[in-house]
């Protein structure tokens, strides 16, 4: 695959991913495989590029004190183990089930994002269980929309942790950040406010991606000549996408992204079935 093709494809994946509030990996893997790249190489390359986009985003969020560092570090214990298991499974599996399962994950991401967007009601305040309280995960952040300091008390850390093992496995298996699933767990189980959930998810993604990447590198699946332009392309696309996001209608950008996600999910399943 030529340098120009790689830069164009990865920039587009990063741009559309940023417009949809997700990383570039979700779209990068279908695009690279459509151009003839082996799915295992595409997954491995995408996993490295995830480190770049998530670290760039996490840096800003952490600096602004939106991230719940303690919650992130607690959940990382589980996601890294899941990512190592998931990446090891990818190496062992044949290509066909990988295509089908990746398509299913895209559709699942579409469904979880759509479902999450309908949840607008404020969550009831509850006292934390003993385990969560003992971890000291309570936090606060300044909400720009309301111009108030919001305090929150996470809950059910004992359930969120093991659930993150599965989310980490999905990330490692498919070389994606699995941000939609991570945010879902952080919001629905740990009961973090949406902004905190999104920023904490970014912190976790980088470490999870490193755990998965180390398995892929050891398997000889990371080709620097291909990986380097993809890193630059996805980063550049994400930067432009972020700038563009403020100028586009939220609804229109989201609808476009959701449609792409659904179509690619179906297309990957069909490619796996008729392979």
Partner 1 sequence: MSREGNPTRFSPFSKQKGPALPTGLIERMIGGVLLGGVLLSSALILAGLGWHCIRYHDLTFKYLISASTVFQFFSHDLSSFVSSPPRPRDLLNLGIAVLLLTPYVRVAISFFYFLLVERSWRFTLITGFVISVLTWGILRG
State which of positions 9-68 bind partner 1 (CB under 8 A): 18, 21, 48, 51-60, 62-67
Start-end of H helices in the chain: 3-19, 25-34, 39-63, 69-92, 95-117, 130-135, 157-174, 179-188, 194-218, 224-245, 250-273
Q: Which is nearer to partner 1, 75 or 106 (by Cβ)?
A: 75
Query: Six-digit token pair at 273?
Result: 């079935």
Nearest approach in angstroms of CB 264 to partner 1 is: 20
Beta bridge partner(s), residue 148: 143
Interface residue with partner 1, options 10, 46, 163, 202 (CB under 8 A): 202
Contact between 76 and partner 1 (CB under 8 A)?
Answer: yes
**DSSP-assigned letter for residue 138:** -
Q: How many residues make contact with partner 1 (CB under 8 A)?
A: 82
* Minimum gap (Å) between residue 111 Cβ and partner 1: 15
Q: Which of residues 80-119 bind partner 1 (CB under 8 A)?
A: 80-81, 84, 113, 116-117
- Cα separation, 195 vs 243, whole angstroms: 19
Q: Which of residues 203-232 bind partner 1 (CB under 8 A)?
A: 206-207, 209-211, 213-215, 217-220, 222-225, 227-229, 231-232
Closest CA to 171 of 16, 11, 29: 29
Contact positions with partner 1 (CB under 8 A) in 113-172: 113, 116-117, 134-136, 140-145, 147
Structure tokens, 8: 């164009």
């Amino acid at each position: 695959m030529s340098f120009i093709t790689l830069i164009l494809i990865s920039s587009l994946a990063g741009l559309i991913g940023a417009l949809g509030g997700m990383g570039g990996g979700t779209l990068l893997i279908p695009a690279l495989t459509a151009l003839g790249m082996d799915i295992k190489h595409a997954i491995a390359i995408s996993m490295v590029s995830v480190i770049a986009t998530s670290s760039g985003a996490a840096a800003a969020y952490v600096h602004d004190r939106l991230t719940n560092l303690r919650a992130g570090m607690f959940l990382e214990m589980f996601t890294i183990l899941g990512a190592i298991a998931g990446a090891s499974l990818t190496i062992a599996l044949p290509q066909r089930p990988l295509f089908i399962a990746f398509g299913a994950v895209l559709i699942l991401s579409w469904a979880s994002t759509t479902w999450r967007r309908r949840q607008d009601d404020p969550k009831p305040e509850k006292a934390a269980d003993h385990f969560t309280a003992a971890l000291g995960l309570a936090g606060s952040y300044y909400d720009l929309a309301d111009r108030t300091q919001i305090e929150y008390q996470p809950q059910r850390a004992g359930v969120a942790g093991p659930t993150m093992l599965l989310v980490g496995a999905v990330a490692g298996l498919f070389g994606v950040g699995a941000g939609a699933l991570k945010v879902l767990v952080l919001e629905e189980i740990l009961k973090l406010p949406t902004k905190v959930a999104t920023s904490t998810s970014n912190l976790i993604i980088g470490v999870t991606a490193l755990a998965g990447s180390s398995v892929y590198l050891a398997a000889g699946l990371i080709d620097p000549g291909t990986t380097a332009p993809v890193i630059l392309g996805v980063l550049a696309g994400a930067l432009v996408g972020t700038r563009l996001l403020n100028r586009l209608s939220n609804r229109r950008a989201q609808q476009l992204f959701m449609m792409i996600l659904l179509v690619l999910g179906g297309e990957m399943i069909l490619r796996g079935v008729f392979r």
